[in-house]
Structure 1
């Protein structure tokens, strides 16, 4: 009996809580008498920056009239339910409200009011998101029970639509180990729904968090998600950039694509706003915001060579964001998300993006030529850190080897070598290119790539030479020498080996 009484008391208190909450919520808006018309203006529902939409009960249907007070109450009584016995017992006695007089607000009125800054972000996201694609990559594996070849999902990433021809830009490492890839694109509901049958020929992936953004997102109700098979146009591992292409099954261009708006990475300043859109952990079209935390950073590409002028941001970048755009406060691309610094593998507030000016240069060449034509110097170099630790070289880049038949060999540059007597002689140390100081290997990469095949550059080196002192002891001294080197085109997209 005691237990039963407690049960009914609990129901009584809960009903009381529901009624009081509903009365509290609806009190500012007087209920219209049955059969009358009540209009709510935007200013009544939202003050200052509020943007709730007004609702008219004269436009409501029978379905709206059947809305019950009980369906609204639980939203506002959640604190009562979570508050425990003390909170529930504090509820005021029950009161009744005519259910037929409740005016249902339009769906827009259920959203939080957004200020001007929020509206700007929302506008950017809604405009740019359809230009961001979801990339899923696959490898081939033979079925153990038959001779059939199966495609196994191995990774996912992001990318963005470059032009109306169907070119998609992403990171090289997103497709690096995949045999084929599929790209999910948002097109307006009246767009063409078809797919290409082309497959990636080279073996090019990333960590796979999900599958083509199939997380039930309803953000883009006016768009259709269509999946296309992609083919590789060209890749540049040195800059971690890849260009893919999607077409219809008949190889005709896909209509109603939304190419992304490109900005510039020149003149960026620390503190500017930044936004990233991508598919972290398979959650498609995720927006994160932050600021530009640093500029002129350097990260290593999949080829092991440094990418210079990289943008640092604290906008969250996670696995799956790779290849997605980093935007400025106007929604223009300023970079492509490529890496994070994190001890855990997830965002730690330090993300990196390849600058869009670099992306433009590389993508243009890949679309036109299918490869990157770079000037070749023809040397193998030693990492600056190793040079400092093992040889005490504090400035410049040590040449390990000069490749035969290359511009460096023709000019007379020397690498580490062993003399006939067995003595190892240190190679030349590059300290400047056309007057630009070279402190580390990244400086050398940056200096050389600014030239074209056929250009002649002045390469200044410190050449170690053994001299005998007055006391008769041998001493190593550095002699500064400048060589004229005529660069040629590289046949393997590299101009310096490591």
Structure 2
């Protein structure tokens, strides 16, 4: 990348001292560099003891959570075939989700792996196999062959009860420093990020808890020690944490993990629209209330469920000129009676509550009137 290009990189926080898969916001291109070998610790580790003496309640709570959840969190080393018959090692994080040895991590952590090695906090080292990876959500499930008495699955929290300002903890292996605990808050909710495909991930949690390369695939905990997300990306002009990190929400993680374990793939529902959020320009041109919200449909794909249901393409006069003006546009304001304020919420709703072939009702604002359109969802292309 030219040193003259100054663009923020959304970094998939995969450790490797040099390995970054990023999305260049200003140019839409990806960048990766070759990693050095990860400096993951190879010696047995014991859990820290609870602090004694002059500690406050917050410190004690964090220490208690760390002691309780550390056995559930793992460090991961991945070997990938490199160029000129050389292998490349990268690393990330993950966490145990059941007594069958299934572990959740990011898809970009285990991509193209020829070997996956998992490290537990008690010093256990074992190989893992890939169960399945979902590029759309950037999530994957791997499996280790250990007896149930040596596994401690995490508990998932309720993401519907999350709030901005809520305290959170991230646990992982930033820069190979395994089982590193960092603390922060939920900075925002309902963000969207791009997965490893052309599709976006909705209802993403934004946090200022320090997340760095190596935290990828690791858990974000609430202060009850429950997993509320999988740490996946950061926004930074460097490879280091800038206080803006993103976690895939736990409800989507559970759905994806279950389907990968059962079917080896995830089938998402498909609507088939192009669009975006309501803007001030659109409000002014269509004479809408200033608090109008929803998803503005600019176009629909050929033979898509949306087009077959009668969703209309935006009509624009003077297109391609400085005098272009929207004449009419369908605005999706609800699905099955649930308000849809923006595109991110629509993505999240479809991923969380619907499956292919489900029949839903879209409430559409068209020419000042609300209409309900029944629609049978399709299956998203892989």
State the TM-score, normalizing by the size of structure 2: 0.70
1:159 aligns with 2:94: yes
Taking the aligned partners of 1:292 and 1:410, their CA distance within structure 2 comes to 40
Taking the aligned partners of 1:363 and 1:387, their CA distance within structure 2 comes to 39
Q: Measure how far apart 1:163 and its partner are.
A: 1.3
Choose which of 289, 296, 300 in structure 2 pairs with 1:401.
Answer: 300
1:451 aligns with 2:344: no
- The answer to whether the Cα contact below 8 Å between 1:414 and 1:427 also exists between their aligned partners in 2 is no
SS of structure 2 residue aligned to 1:224: coil
1:133 aligns with 2:68: no
Which has the larger Rg?
1
Alignment of 1:73-472 (within 5 A): 113=53, 115=55, 117=57, 118-141=59-82, 143=84, 149-153=85-89, 155-176=90-111, 178-186=112-120, 223-228=122-127, 230-247=128-145, 256-377=150-271, 379-384=272-277, 396-404=295-303, 406-415=304-313, 429-432=330-333, 433-449=335-351, 450-461=353-364
Evaluate the alpha carbon distance shift between residue 409 and residue 281 of structure 1 in structure 2; reply closer, same or farther with a 3 A threshold.
same
Taking the aligned partners of 2:305 and 2:91, their CA distance within structure 1 comes to 41
Evaluate the alpha carbon distance shift between residue 481 and residue 328 of structure 1 in structure 2; reply closer, same or farther with a 3 A threshold.
closer
Task: Write out per-residue CA displacement over residues 323-363 of structure 1, whole angstroms, 9 at most, x where no aligned residue.
Answer: 11111223221222122233333222232222222212221
Evaluate the alpha carbon distance shift between residue 123 and residue 461 of structure 1 in structure 2; reply closer, same or farther with a 3 A threshold.
closer
Evaluate the alpha carbon distance shift between residue 343 and residue 407 of structure 1 in structure 2; reply closer, same or farther with a 3 A threshold.
same
Taking the aligned partners of 1:266 and 1:386, their CA distance within structure 2 comes to 27
**Count of residues in Structure 1 that have an aligned counterpart in Structure 2:** 315
Q: Which has the higher strand share?
A: 2
Aligned to 1:102: none
Task: Write out per-residue CA displacement over residues 349-396 of structure 1, whole angstroms, 9 at most, x where no aligned residue.
Answer: 23222222221222112211222222232x24144499969x968853
Q: Which runs of 5+ in 1 are unaligned?
A: 1-107, 144-148, 187-219, 419-423, 464-476, 494-498
Taking the aligned partners of 2:285 and 2:80, their CA distance within structure 1 comes to 46
Taking the aligned partners of 2:249 and 2:377, their CA distance within structure 1 comes to 26
SS of structure 2 residue aligned to 1:483: strand
Q: Which has the higher helix share?
A: 1
Evaluate the alpha carbon distance shift between residue 181 and residue 382 of structure 1 in structure 2; reply closer, same or farther with a 3 A threshold.
farther
User: Bigger relative contact order, structure 1 or 2, given CA contacts below 8 A and separation 6+?
Assistant: 2
CA RMSD of aligned residues (A): 3.5
Higher mean displacement: 358-367 or 338-347: 338-347
Task: Write out per-residue CA displacement over residues 255-275 of structure 1, whole angstroms, 9 at most, x where no aligned residue.
Answer: 612222333223123333321
Evaluate the alpha carbon distance shift between residue 291 and residue 442 of structure 1 in structure 2; reply closer, same or farther with a 3 A threshold.
closer
Evaluate the alpha carbon distance shift between residue 314 and residue 175 of structure 1 in structure 2; reply closer, same or farther with a 3 A threshold.
same
State the TM-score, normalizing by the size of structure 1: 0.55
- The answer to whether the Cα contact below 8 Å between 1:402 and 1:414 also exists between their aligned partners in 2 is no
Q: Which runs of 5+ in 2 are unaligned?
A: 1-47, 287-291, 317-323
